[in-house]
Amino acid sequence: MEKFVITDDTALAELKRRLLARSAPGGSPAAAARLESVRAIVEAVRTEGDAAVARFTEQFDGVRLAPERFELTREEIEAAESRVDPETLAALGRAMENIRDFHCRNLRQSWEQEYADGSVIGQRVGPVESAGVYVPGGKAFYPSSVLMNIVPARVAGVPEIIMVSPPSCDGDIHPGVAAAARMAGATRVFRVGGAQAVAALAFGTETIPAVCKITGPGNAYVTAAKALVRGAVEIDSEAGPSEVLVLADASTNPRFAAAELFAQAEHDEEAMCLLVADSEQTAAAVAAVVEAELPALRRAGIASRALDELGMLIVARSAAEAVDLANFIAPEHLSVQTRDPEATAAQIRNAGAVMVGPMTPVAVGDYIAGPNHVLPTMRRARFSSPLTAEDFRKVTSYIKYSEERLRAQGADLVRLAELEGLEAHARSVTARLEES
């Protein structure tokens, strides 16, 4: 991991410049080429449907699937669930209940205001008609992502939830993923992934229905596909690789801090793992643990590359500067492991999820606490939020005017329309007043 010591304001400015470069949307030639290749995939699926999905599944996943094999049958899902041990199923069930309980707490309600003259204004809140959930596969399998996307959609009342996930080399999906889909309440499950699955959800094919909104994490190709189909459907976000920032001081247990860096680094080689400490001694203690324990990780190759290329040990000049940096970086996950973690956390404005204190590993948010692990990345926590049930709902305004209210506000309506030069708008008001 690179070590960066902030010695003065010039060094601080240089660090911020480098951090901004890391978080900038991909403008490299490689990123541009990737976008164009994904654009071709999306267009092929839009025009060719199932045939294109089958072709790209064979090309990218190495699995030959006829369209009639895209969807898992109820019998296949039940058979997959039977291969998951009961204790694991029970753990998934307990996590699901926590997630459901959390997301039930922040649902907006429809409302109306009726006036004495009979006029009514209000909002009608309801679910989108359908949602598509993307669950990654490949390097790892994520039953937790199944729960984190499908359960909020269920809480929101979405009637049709379509899940897609890449097939393994034997043409199936992981039993834990299938079991979680059944438990959470997916309407249909398809063994397709990649950009072709996103395009299928956006535009529909002969076998895969189009949806109103697509959520769920994926690799750079999936993210690019989501960006390209946005507008035809809504998406949750254009999420980047996983991120963690650990705030540390002399009180921090170096093993706990290193454990959080490892937990993000094992996701993939592009995970961003940062530690911000208020002394070189604390940073050195964490660095020593990272060096000693990294080789023992099962996914040491992936984690090592992430830490080498995107890991950084930052030494701030003060605890206040460390907090300011955390707010500037706006990380996906923020682990607060300082002497007074509650006081430190109270100063955080920008983070996807804040884990407070030494006994709160990021993993509790990833799996079981209840808040969603679909979080803003790439500094988007400055202006966006974690996925919630509200993201699967929409608002329709409701307006009913009486003649009395229209007459009372008619002159103002006409003036405002004329101010904008929209004569027909004004006439739509005066015509009613002249007839009544």
**CA 75 to chain centroid:** 31
Long-range contacts of 207-211 (CB under 8 A, 24+ apart): 207/50, 207/67, 207/68, 207/70, 207/71, 208/50, 208/53, 208/70, 208/71, 208/162, 208/164, 209/130, 209/160, 209/162, 210/130, 211/130, 211/131, 211/132, 211/160, 211/162
Inter-residue contact 336 to 112 (CB < 8 Å): no
How far are the Cα atoms of 257, 321, 338 from residue 287, in angstroms, in the given order? Answer: 10, 21, 17
Q: Which of 333, 403, 404, 420 is catalytic?
A: 333
Inter-residue contact 272 to 241 (CB < 8 Å): yes
Tokens 């705030």 sit on residue: 247
Q: Transcribe 139-196 into DSSP letters.
A: S---HHHHHHHHHHHHHHT-SEEEEE----TTS---HHHHHHHHHHT-SEEE---HHH
* Residue 258 phi, psi dihedral angles, 5° rounding: -65, -35
Q: Which of 332, 420, 423, 425 is catalytic?
A: 332
- Beta-carbon contacts of 49 under 8 Å, excluding residues fewer than 6 positions away, are 200, 204, 205, 206
Strand, coil or helix: 317 = coil
Residue type, 14: E
Please tell me the distance from the alpha carbon of residue 151 to that of residue 159, in angstroms, as a whole number: 12
**CA 78 to chain centroid:** 28
Which has the closest alpha carbon to 364: 351, 354, 349?
A: 354
Can 174 be counted among the known catalytic residues? Answer: no
- Beta-carbon contacts of 87 under 8 Å, excluding residues fewer than 6 positions away, are none
Lookup: tokens for 196: 């072709």
Can 160 be counted among the known catalytic residues? Answer: no
Active site residues: 332-333
